[in-house]
Amino acid sequence: MELVIEVARVEGTCNAGLSIGQRFCMSGTGLASDDGQELCRVALASISLNVGRLGLGKGPLYVSCPDPGTGSGGNVVFRVRSMGAKDNDQDEADGAAMPLPVQIRVVPVHVIGRCPAGLTLGAEFLVEGMTVSSPHGDGPCLAALSHLPMAVWQTQSGRRFFAHSSCPGCTRRLPHENRVVFLLGHADKWELCCAISEYLKLIKRIGEPSEAQRLKAEAIVCQERGDYAGAVARMRAATKWLGRDMEEDLPRWKDKIRQNGRE
């Protein structure tokens, strides 16, 4: 997403020297300013975390930096809009970029090493609007919560109904990596989300034979016409085919998995 980021308000004194009216343009991985000013990296992290909310509604998005401005620093609020939108195209009064009422389920599907927060494959979280809850009393990991919003905005926007997201991990040595991969999806399509996730995990390990591809294509057709039960049945059949194909040629699949370093 190409963005225009403008300093809309400064309370106190910004430690990065930002002032009202300064503008930055973000395109791809590049970031440029009108006057050579550098954007505070702490503020940029906050903007990057929230920018996905632009996909949830019209209008600009106002994002605050983390500094509350209660001490010697200052609080800066940025006005963020897509580069293709003109100022007069923006609707300031439409509750822009607020989450839609879509319930998102979030569950760990892969735990590498031992999660320091104690998350296991049995954990589950629900996202409704801006609220995160756990039906089983699982405590959300602070580090994981810093990485999940982008995938949440994506699924809430309706651009897709499922996504995978990884926590940043928290290890000092790569061989001792501890990291959790989460599946996020619309609660009303959860069975299909799980079927797709399982299929993706298998083809990552062993490849994707033609029969599995055919069944997946049929599932996509069912999904596009709103037949989610049919899509689930075909994805389950595709996953079953992968398992059968793996059993019939187990030595070759073992070699392939070993070569990929995932045995």
d(CA 69, CA 65): 10
For residues 62-76, average pLDDT: 89
What tokens appear for 34 in the block?
């009108």
How many domains does the chain contain in total? Answer: 2
d(CA 124, CA 128): 13
Q: Do 240 and 117 fall within a single domain?
A: yes
Confidence (pLDDT) at 235: 96
pLDDT tens per residue across span 243-254: 875 555 555 545
pLDDT tens per residue across span 115-157: 989 999 989 999 998 899 999 888 888 889 888 988 898 898 8
Q: Which run of H or of E encompasses 151?
A: helix 149-156
- Pick the last residue of a domain from 89, 118, 149: 89
Residue 177 has pLDDT above 70, yes or no: yes
pLDDT tens per residue across span 223-246: 999 999 999 999 999 999 888 755
- Pick the last residue of a domain from 89, 117, 136: 89
User: Residue 220: which of 241, 205, 235, 207 has the closest Cα?
Assistant: 235
Residue 194 has pLDDT above 60, yes or no: yes
Residue 179 lies in a domain: yes
Q: Do 109 and 82 fall within a single domain?
A: no
Residue 95 lies in a domain: no
d(CA 244, CA 241): 5
Residue 95 has pLDDT above 70, yes or no: no
Q: Which domain holds residue 166?
A: 104-259
Residue 99 lies in a domain: no
Q: Do 166 and 67 fall within a single domain?
A: no
Residue 183 lies in a domain: yes
Confidence (pLDDT) at 259: 57
Q: Do 85 and 162 fall within a single domain?
A: no
Q: Do 108 and 65 fall within a single domain?
A: no
